[in-house]
Chains A and B, each alone.
Chain A
Amino acid sequence: METRTIIPLTRIHQPLKLELDLEGDLITDCRSSGTLFRGFELMLEGRDPWDAPYFTQRICGICSTAHGVVASLAVEDACKVEITRTAALMRNLIYGADVLQNHLRHFYVLALPDYITSPKTPPFEPQSSYDKRFSKAENDKLVESLWQGIETSRLAHQMLAIYGGKAPHQHGIVPGGASMAPDADRNNRFRGLLKIVLEFVNEHLLPDVELLATKYNDYFKLGRGAGNFLSYGMFPQTGSSNRKYPAGAYLGGKLSDLDISLITEDISHSWFNGPNIQEKPAEAVAVPDKHKAEGYTWLKAPRYDHQVVEMGPLGRMWISGAYRNGTSTMDRLVTRALETKQIAQWMLEWLDEVVPGQSTFTPFEVPESGSGAGFAEAMRGCLGHWVKIENHKIAHYQIITPTAWLFSPKDKTGRRGAVDHSVVGTRVGDKENFTEVGRIVRSYDPCFSCSGHLIQPQGDMKEFRIC
């Protein structure tokens, strides 16, 4: 048996370290590890609850709007504020634009270069020539799509800025609603850009993914997940408490309602020590210990009802029933593309629903004390913020991001996290660069900016959490 260490795994937001155990060409174990920690949760303590959406957006540059949305939901829950219907639609539009941006950038910038021969110029060059299956004509077409995909994702951010002020780290989503009321001129510009993006999705993204799925159809067998899914739900619907993507859990072949109280975090293989190996997120007291012998990552292992769960576009579409083909690498890429089109179409509906000039902001006072939580689907899976207010200020803040769920280490029963699980059992043909492993891991659209927000105590034993 040999062990190989890969860091940085490139084309991922922030570095990922992978340790692979190999017997011949078979991967027998995989230990993924996040290697950067900044500690956003403790930074939030003592600050104004109004600041949470702008501040938590700084956790992540690619999915910043998701943090803005979820932090606003958490603060509004704690302050018992109802936002207006138009405000909810404006948020859907702003957030939807960021999801389109993310999905396009993921496919063309991060995932596709694993399969094509990229342009022969730095930063793409040098590149491996292992297992490239496209003809020259197909490859040229995909390279052209790659450049256009980057351009189109820029247009998605332009849409976002029409109502969000700027991107990344938008200003338009605030506790109490959205800061810009819709107006006809902006709606028209938004719609124009949205149609360009939708056209690109129809004419490039979907055919490109289809071509990829045809040429690499063996990837419908590689990188299969454990088959359990979780979704917090995404995009509030008007006139209903349901969301466009429903919340739910799919465990052992059975679909059930989401129950937040079933979430636990396991620290047996994380650089943490605490009285309990498994703890409820809200009561977590474990402290970090970088020298813990069994530890290999800063991430804790979140579990839902003691099960490892997968999430993201595949999880959302699996739970909504829209896609149940399989749980492989290619299924993840395919559902991300299908979802891009779905969300763009929903955005057109929302644009028709908003009425220019209606109020989008509900003023409110922060109460003396209160607690609340916000849950929604980020681009890559379940994102939850928990906030506790005391003396009009944030007394306690907690975040669990999708990357923590997906890239969690082993728990006390030895079960691997979702990504590690799907890598183990793969046979590698390319032991130089582990192309197969890169393809599997990138299909999850990981983002390690989000994953590690470890808090270090300054002398006293405060609560420690990681998300």
Chain B
Amino acid sequence: MLTRRKFLSLCAKTTMAVSLSELLLADLDKAVAAKEIKKPTVIWLELGSCTGNTISLDNTASPSVKELFNKVIDLRFHWIFMNAEGTWATDIMRRAAKEKAGEYILVVEGSVVLADGGTWDNIAYENGQLVTGVSVLKDLAPQAKHVIAIGSCAAFGGPAAARPNPSKSVGVQDVLDRQVINTPGCPCHPDWFLGTLYHLINYGVPELDTYNRPKLFYGRLLHDQCQRRAYFEKGIFAQHLGDSWCMFTMGCRGPRTFADCPNREWNGTDNWPVGCNTPCIGCVEPGFPDVSMPFFQRYPDLKLPGFSANLDKAALGLGVITLGGLGVHLGVNLATQRLRKNLTETSLPLSPPGPRTKAQLEGIRTEAGSEDAPAQPEEFRPLPANLQVRRPKKARRTLHK
């Protein structure tokens, strides 16, 4: 079997093109055959969801879905794939949970709907009664070996919990008194989920950040990995969607988003949102989408005691400082001294400064999702009229009439 160290380095280096999972599969296969490890039982629960994370998992290249089902996991319950239906399906889920108590991995997709006692999301019919999603979740979670929340809705409430949150949706960790491993994203990249699963199977819980996201995939600031970082440093900014320059002016949330999209890329292509000439919308972060909207409005300039940074300075080459600051935008409680250190020394050592406790996380969510919150933060303001945007003339001609 791969050593954990080797595995971690693979995760950091591979992209979708050189598939992480491909390297792992043969290894996992051998381990299962040699009975070093058992195929883990997985129960996949879908709550307030768009099914996008299942579709995204379907997009896994290697292992293919075939290999995944046949060789990697023992997927007992997933209502998009299973043949049984109605009470038979529900019985299969309950039986698997009983048989494999303490061993199974519970994967939850979609937000936990709490409106009207959870009855806005009924998922089963038992003993003549409709059963809510939240009650099934609370039944299954305590006996699970691990609980993985896949996608931003399950992790933090996500789009389902967007202001004014009619269905009173919350993330999985909000209703459970146990560790939940979050693999957010809208949708979650198949590598993020499968890599986390592989780590769980072989080495246990991976190192998590303050939002319980595996640092393997969510450990580095997206902005630090962006292919267009050089444009940012030189002050070459997009003026419209569809420009192939730095998307900071178009509202890019890369400076405060922790994900490896620029390296990993999507769907086996060389593309990802910024590569597609649109901004990153920060879909892996708590508070998404409210904290990212309006999507195409430039991020507000940083205002902190004793320090100010704005786009004009960024354009003069102080980008690292500005963006380091923006990266900690959410962490309003962060000590200024530490922030200064990060700002002045480097932009790299940032980890998400977010809250460590459930109560603090709740605070952020309430703030972002409250009905009083303005739809558009007042801090947003138009680009300064004197902003100097430099761009090569030749390239501009080919892009615009």
Contacts and interface: CB of A to CB of B under 8 A. Distances in A.
Interface stretch (A54-62, A247-255, A311-319): A54-62
B80 A13 contact: yes
Nearest to A189: B269
A181 B69 CA distance: 39
Q: How large is the interface on B (under 10, 10 to 19, 20 to 34, 35 or more residues)?
A: 35 or more
Nearest to A452: B120
Interface string B135-178: 00000000000000000000000111011111101000000000
Interface string B232-273: 000000001110000000000000000000000011110111
Interface string A209-234: 00000000000000000000000000
Contacts of B162: 43, 55
Interface in A135-159: 147, 150-151, 153-154, 157-158
Most buried by A among B90, B121, B169: B121
Interface string B66-84: 1001100011111111111
A153 B80 CA distance: 15
Given A55-B289, A458-B371, A11 B295 contact: no
Nearest to B73: A122
A39 B113 CA distance: 11
Given A118-B83, A158-B267, A165-B278, A393 B295 contact: no
Interface stretch (A30-38, A321-329, A335-343, A396-404): A30-38
A36 B113 contact: yes
Contact of B79 (A6, A15, A37, A153): A15
A107 interface: no
Contacts of A15: 46, 79, 122-123
Contact of B293 (A14, A51, A59, A109): A51
A370 interface: no
B86 interface: yes
Instruction: Classify the secondary structure of A's interface with B.
Output: loop
Interface of B: 46, 48-56, 58-61, 64-66, 69-70, 74-86, 88-90, 92, 111, 113, 115-116, 119-125, 130, 158-160, 162-167, 169, 186-187, 240-242, 266-269, 271-273, 275-278, 281, 283, 289, 293-297, 371, 375-376, 398-401
15 contacts: A36-B121, A38-B111, A51-B295, A109-B80, A110-B80, A128-B84, A153-B58, A162-B269, A171-B276, A172-B276, A189-B269, A359-B400, A433-B85, A449-B50, A458-B164
Interface of A: 5-15, 17, 35-39, 42-43, 46-48, 50-51, 54-55, 58-62, 64, 105, 109-110, 113, 118-119, 121-128, 147, 150-151, 153-154, 157-158, 160-172, 174, 176-181, 189, 290, 357, 359-361, 363, 393, 432-434, 438, 447, 449, 454-456, 458
